[in-house]
A and B are shown apart, each in its own frame.
Chain A
Amino acid sequence: MLILADLVRGDTQADRVVPPTGFTARLTLFSAAAMTFLAVFALALSLATGRLAHNWSAELARSATLRLSASDDQIAAQTQAALSVLKTTEGVESARALSEAEQQALLEPWFGPDVPIADLPVPQLIEIIETRKGYDAEGLRLRLAAEVPGAVLDDHTRWRRPLVRAASRIRTLGLLSLALIGAIMAAMITLAAHSALAANAQVISVLRLVGARDDFIARAFVRRFTLRAISGAILGLALGLGGIMLLPAAQAEGGFLTGLGFQGWGWIWPFFLPLLAGVVAFWATRSAARRILRGLA
Chain B
Amino acid sequence: MIELDNLAYSYGGGELLSEISLRLAPGSFHFLTGPSGAGKTTFLKLCYGALVPTSGDVTLFGQDVRSMGRNDMALMRRRIGVVHQDCQFLDHLPLVENIALPLMVSGRDVAAEAQNLDDLIAWCGLSHRKHALPPELSGGERQRAALARAVIMSPEVILADEPTGNVDWEMSQRLLQLLVELNKMGKTVMIATHDLALIRAAKSRVQTRVLRIANRRLHLAGADL
Contact = CB atoms under 8 A, between A and B. Distances in A.
Interface of A: 13-14, 16-17, 19-20, 202-203, 205-216, 293, 297
Given A211-B78, A214-B71, A206 B97 contact: no
Contacts of B84: 209
Given A210-B77, A213-B71, A17 B110 contact: no
A207 B105 contact: yes
A13 B104 CA distance: 6
Contact of B88 (A16, A17, A205, A212): A205
Nearest to B75: A211
B74 A213 contact: yes
Contacts of B90: 17, 19, 203, 206
B128 interface: no
Contacts of B71: 213-215
DSSP class of A's interface residues: helix, strand, loop or mixed? helix
Nearest to B109: A13
A205 B101 CA distance: 13
Interface in B158-208: none
A206 B88 CA distance: 6
Contacts of B75: 211, 213
Nearest to B93: A16
A17 B78 contact: no
Nearest to A20: B92
B105 A210 contact: yes
Contacts of B102: 210-211
Given A203-B90, A209-B77, A209-B82, A13 B110 contact: yes
Nearest to B91: A19
Contacts of B104: 13-14, 16-17
B101 A207 contact: yes
A210 B149 contact: yes
Nearest to A214: B70
Interface in B75-95: 75-78, 82, 84, 88-93
A223 to B, nearest CB: 15
7 contacts: A13-B104, A13-B110, A203-B90, A210-B78, A211-B76, A211-B78, A216-B105
Interface centre among B88, B104, B105, B106 (most CB of A within 10 A): B105
Interface residues of B, number: 26
Interface centre among B78, B92, B149 (most CB of A within 10 A): B92
Interface in B34-84: 50, 70-71, 74-78, 82, 84
A64 to B, nearest CB: 72
Interface centre among A20, A202, A293 (most CB of B within 10 A): A202
Contacts of A17: 90, 93, 101, 104-105
A211 B77 contact: yes
Nearest to B73: A208
Contacts of A212: 74, 105
Contacts of A210: 77-78, 101-102, 105, 149
Given A13-B104, A13-B110, A17-B104, A213 B70 contact: yes
Given A213-B71, A214-B71, A208 B77 contact: yes
Nearest to A207: B105
A216 B107 CA distance: 9
Nearest to A206: B88
A216 B78 CA distance: 14
A65 B50 CA distance: 84
Interface centre among A210, A216, A297 (most CB of B within 10 A): A210
A4 to B, nearest CB: 20
B65 to A, nearest CB: 13
A210 B99 CA distance: 10
Contacts of B2: none
Contacts of A214: 70-71, 74
B16 interface: no
A220 to B, nearest CB: 10
B153 interface: yes
B208 to A, nearest CB: 25
A74 to B, nearest CB: 94
A211 B77 CA distance: 5
